[in-house]
Amino acid sequence: MLLISPSPPLVAIIGGGPAGLMAAEVISQRGLPVHVYDAMPTLGRKFLLAGKGGLNLTHSEPLEQFLTRYGDRRPQIEPLLQAFSPQELRDWALGLGIETFVGSSGRVFPMEMKAAPLLRAWLRRLRAAGVVFHVRHRWLGWTADGALRFMTPEGETAVSPAATILALGGGSWPRLGSDGAWVPLLQARGIGVAPLKPANCGFDVGWSDYFRQKFAGEPVKTAVLRFADFARQGEFVITETGVEGSLIYAVSARLREEIAANGRATFRLDLLPDKTEAQVAESLAKPRGSRSLSSHLQSRLGLKGVKVGLLRELVPAADFADPTRLAEAIKGLSVTVVGTRPLAEAISSAGGVLWAGLDEGLMVTAVPGLFCAGEMLDWEAPTGGYLLTGCFASGKAAGEGVVKWVEETLS
Ligand SMILES: Cc1cc2nc3c(=O)[nH]c(=O)nc-3n(C[C@H](O)[C@H](O)[C@H](O)COP(=O)(O)OP(=O)(O)OC[C@H]3O[C@@H](n4cnc5c(N)ncnc54)[C@H](O)[C@@H]3O)c2cc1C
């Protein structure tokens, strides 16, 4: 039986992650009644998981550089960050009693490197401001007359608020609540959605059994990865099927698009960034006497472990006998990736609700009173605090959008 809520809230927000909670804050601050619904038994689960990695809240680089991180979506994200900048995000956290610091890479973290204290303080403040939370409420779509359908432990209910914000997240780590099940629901309503794709994800290479068994889980420390105009020094990890980690995430959007276009993508690794190719070739050409090539590589160049494993895995055996060819491989080892890891394993999602169907307050123009915010919008960014900053800022924009819309249409 469908229970109809007798006193619907003025504003319903579905999704209690950073974007939905920020929207709830803005709306409650203007004195409007707002209820937040979430499928999970507790709120902000992905935010808490981000806290396990230290909670990289935002980045301290100048705004102009910060905005470049959103790539093609800069025009859409820029107004959101002009209204809620990375510095304002840090000030906001401080308002909750959470001091932040700038790490050596320019990334910004809470002093405690955790999400839980921030989330606890925030939920306390939202409750005090009158925000009502409904957990274990899974949104199922709309009834024929446009009410929101929820599955709850007591059965299905329907709610008809004046305005709704969807802040349902992307499709990564679905066990934390954001499973992308909203995509067909919005499409059925005529709302344009670009398919969700893995972003900041790992890739499959297809290692030999020997390499996989010996090196899966090993970090490759300090290599330079080059792909098209991308070149960066960093670290990554060998996985059972391929590669993942911060250096791979940074180039993941480009690799993903190359694979989509050509079925594979080949990047180059410089395994000895501090030496020139000529220096490497010269060292390799020195007589090695009775020493094995492995101990020659280690004693002359400091190359060992997983880096030598990568060379053995990917360089033709004949090239090992030729110092020039081997030096070329050490300075530009070709690694071919043939697929992304599944969306469920990715840090974030690309794709989502198309900006063309939204106004500047993030309202779906075809469905007046329906707004969207957070990772479910069609944008992506690398790790570095850009994801959370974008989610908070879009939550604020949608909250402001609702307030304006309610004032204009209902008063
Ligand atoms: C391992 C990991 C580490 C990360 N670390 C960082 C980091 O350090 N810095 C950073 O910037 N970003 C990080 N991110 C990304 C960041 O956590 C997300 O981009 C951000 O949480 C998205 O916020 P959101 O509010 O849009 O969605 P979410 O946080 O995903 O919240 C969406 C909410 O909607 C609810 N929901 C979904 N569908 C329904 C439904 N049908 N009915 C009811 N409720 C529903 C979910 O339960 C969830 O609570 C990390 C992500 C992962 C996976």
- The response to whether residue 37 sits with its C-beta less than 6 Å from ligand 1 reads yes
> What Cα–Cα distance (Å) separates residue 148 from each residue in 251, 332, 361?
39, 55, 21
- The response to whether residue 17 sits with its C-beta less than 6 Å from ligand 1 reads yes
Structural contact between residues 236 and 247, judged by C-beta atoms closer than 8 angstroms? yes
User: What 8-state DSSP symbol labels residue 191?
Assistant: -
204 phi-psi bin (left φ>0, alpha ψ -120 to 50, beta other): beta
Q: If we measure between CA atoms, which residue out of 119, 80, 76 comes closest to residue 96? A: 119
The pLDDT, as a whole number, for residue 20 is 98
The pLDDT, as a whole number, for residue 4 is 65
In whole angstroms, what is the distance from residue 19 CA to residue 387 CA? Answer: 11
Lowest mean pLDDT among 244-248, 291-295, 299-303, 344-348: 291-295
> Which two structure tokens, joined as six digits, stand for 222?
């300090």
Pick from 26, 46, 100 the residue to mutate for probing ligand 1's pocket: most ligand atoms within 8 Å of its CB. 46
The pLDDT, as a whole number, for residue 96 is 98
> What Cα–Cα distance (Å) separates residue 255 from each residue in 33, 226, 380?
45, 11, 14
The pLDDT, as a whole number, for residue 353 is 98
Rounded distance from Cα 179 to ligand 1 centre (Å)? 10
- The response to whether residue 226 sits with its C-beta less than 6 Å from ligand 1 reads no
The pLDDT, as a whole number, for residue 386 is 98
The pLDDT, as a whole number, for residue 293 is 82
pLDDT bin (cut points 50, 70, 90) of residue 200 is: very high
pLDDT (average), residues 66-71: 96
> What Cα–Cα distance (Å) separates residue 112 from each residue in 19, 57, 60, 213, 383?
22, 12, 18, 37, 19
- pLDDT exceeds 80 at position 179: yes
The per-residue pLDDT for range 47-62, each reduced to its tens digit, is 999 989 899 999 999 9
Three-class DSSP category at 105: coil
Rounded distance from Cα 267 to ligand 1 centre (Å)? 30
The per-residue pLDDT for range 323-339, each reduced to its tens digit, is 999 999 999 999 999 99
pLDDT bin (cut points 50, 70, 90) of residue 19 is: very high
> Could you identify the atom of ligand 1 that is nearest to the CA of residue 346?
53
The pLDDT, as a whole number, for residue 129 is 97
Q: Is the pTM of this model over 0.75?
A: yes
N residues, the chain: 411
- The response to whether residue 24 sits with its C-beta less than 6 Å from ligand 1 reads no
- The response to whether residue 177 sits with its C-beta less than 6 Å from ligand 1 reads yes
More confident residue, 11 or 297: 11
- The response to whether residue 50 sits with its C-beta less than 6 Å from ligand 1 reads yes
> Which two structure tokens, joined as six digits, stand for 335?
């690694």
The pLDDT, as a whole number, for residue 307 is 97
146 phi-psi bin (left φ>0, alpha ψ -120 to 50, beta other): left
Q: Give the residue, by CA position, lying nearest to ligand 1 atom 19.
A: 387
Structural contact between residues 55 and 361, judged by C-beta atoms closer than 8 angstroms? no
Rounded distance from Cα 186 to ligand 1 centre (Å)? 19
Rounded distance from Cα 344 to ligand 1 centre (Å)? 12
Which amino acid would we find at residue 200?
N
CA atoms within 13 A on the CB side of 14: 26
- The response to whether residue 347 sits with its C-beta less than 6 Å from ligand 1 reads yes
Structural contact between residues 100 and 2, judged by C-beta atoms closer than 8 angstroms? no
Rounded distance from Cα 31 to ligand 1 centre (Å)? 27
Rounded distance from Cα 170 to ligand 1 centre (Å)? 7
- pLDDT exceeds 70 at position 82: yes
- The response to whether residue 14 sits with its C-beta less than 6 Å from ligand 1 reads yes
> What Cα–Cα distance (Å) separates residue 309 from each residue in 271, 321, 336?
12, 16, 16
The per-residue pLDDT for range 275-322, each reduced to its tens digit, is 999 999 999 988 878 888 888 889 889 999 999 999 999 999 999 889
The pLDDT, as a whole number, for residue 327 is 96
Q: What percent of the chain has pLDDT over 70?
A: 98
The per-residue pLDDT for range 100-142, each reduced to its tens digit, is 999 988 999 999 999 999 999 999 999 999 999 999 999 999 9
- The response to whether residue 374 sits with its C-beta less than 6 Å from ligand 1 reads yes
- pLDDT exceeds 90 at position 250: yes
In whole angstroms, what is the distance from residue 218 CA to residue 311 CA? Answer: 15
The pLDDT, as a whole number, for residue 1 is 60
> What Cα–Cα distance (Å) separates residue 230 from each residue in 23, 35, 165, 247, 271?
36, 44, 37, 11, 16
pLDDT (average), residues 31-44: 97
